[in-house]
Each structure stands twice: as structure tokens, then as C-alpha cells.
Structure 1
């Protein structure tokens, strides 16, 4: 399995198990759970017939936002907004034709970073830090 580079390069926190989509399926949506004061605290890829399950399993209160992946385009990466004191606060899909989806949470603050693969994205791995939520992610 080939991993992309980590999006933010933050090394604090713990790396969680990777979450693949089933073989032969395509990612159809990216869903995030957001908590006030923390940013994104969980992420989930929907695929043709299933989901990857929530990566962090964080059961704290929050709200959900979802972006449907354009079925005519190939998803090769994610852009993230990293906000100081919060971790990752927004996510955007990168397509092979160098276009992007809408930002998922619409939180327009923070430094933009990205992680890209040369092939189809088939899963995700995150780094979670207590008090910040998800602080980094990479794809495979």
C-alpha cells in the first residue's frame, strides 16, 4: 500500500489505524464530524456500497458535514485548512484534472495544506491530538 505524504507535517498526537474502502469500490463522499473549539474530530469516506467507518470513533458532541465526490472525476487528494489552536478545520477534495470540490465545513480560516496520490484514493489514516481533534492525515 502506497501512502501519500502527511498533509500538515504535525508529529504531535497519535497515529490511528488506516481505514480502507472495500476493494473495487470508489469513494462517493467525504463526511466529517466537527466540534466547536476543536475543528474536525472525525472523518469518514463513503464508497459505492459502504463506508470506511469513522476513523477516530470520537463520540463527543458535534455536527456533521458531507461533500459528494464528483462521479465523473478521479479523486487523487485532499486539501485541508489547518488553524492554529484547533487542528484541521476544513477539507476539500482534489481531482486529477486539478479542480477541487467545495470546502466541506465552510470554515474559511487557516493555512491550506494538501496531500496527493498519483492513483485512486482507497483509504485514509489520521493523526489525532488530544485537545485539537485531527491534526494531520494521509491517503492511500
Structure 2
């Protein structure tokens, strides 16, 4: 049996605000035929090719502990440091710095609702070790 992931769901206090923040971060967009509006309890965004999706779902619970799942992001058109600065300007918070002297490593941030994400070394600074998996 084969399965594929339809989308990743993220619990949110404000699904609309989170969908817009992450759209800005990733360069993704909402479905123009089903736009995300303030007050919507579910807001989905799509990658430019429409194949990857993030769904933000409003929940009443506050985030209490570290996420069990988070996104690791790789900058494609700028350095890791430039990307981190952009995300901080968008409202992210820096949680930890795991950069190494050789330029590898990552920086851990949190989105406006406290969900962790990591920014890895830029594609400009290293080859993609998983490029052989892309079809």
C-alpha cells in the first residue's frame, strides 16, 4: 500500500494570521477560489506548484510545550543569515543558534504563535545532499 501526505496541519489561535505569515515566509499562496479570510477556522496555503500544502486550524488550547514536529527551511536565494534577518523582520523570534564554525548548522526560530522552525545552511552555501531523490 502506498500513501502520500496530503498536507501538514498546524494548530493555531488565529488560522488566518498564521496562513498569511507563513505565505510570506514561504512564498506560498491561498486558493483564489477559496480565499482565507479573518474568522475562518481553517486556512490552507499552497506551494507554487500546488502540490504541498499547510493547513492552519484554530484551536482553543495554548501552546504549552516544544513542538513534536517542526519545519526545517533551506534558503534558496540568499544566505541563512539574510533569511533569518528577513524572518525576524516578519515577526519571528530567535530561540537558539546552532551554527558551527565551518558554516554548517542552523538557527531555531519561532513563528508569531511560538511554533518552532529551523533555518538551515543556504543552498547557495552547500550542495543539496538529497538532490538525487528529486524526480
Is TM-score (shorter-chain normalized) higher than 0.5? Answer: no
- Larger of the two Rg values belongs to structure: 2
**Structure (1/2) with the larger helix percentage:** 2
TM-score range, shorter chain: under 0.3
**TM-score when normalising by structure 2:** 0.24
**Structure (1/2) with the larger strand percentage:** 1
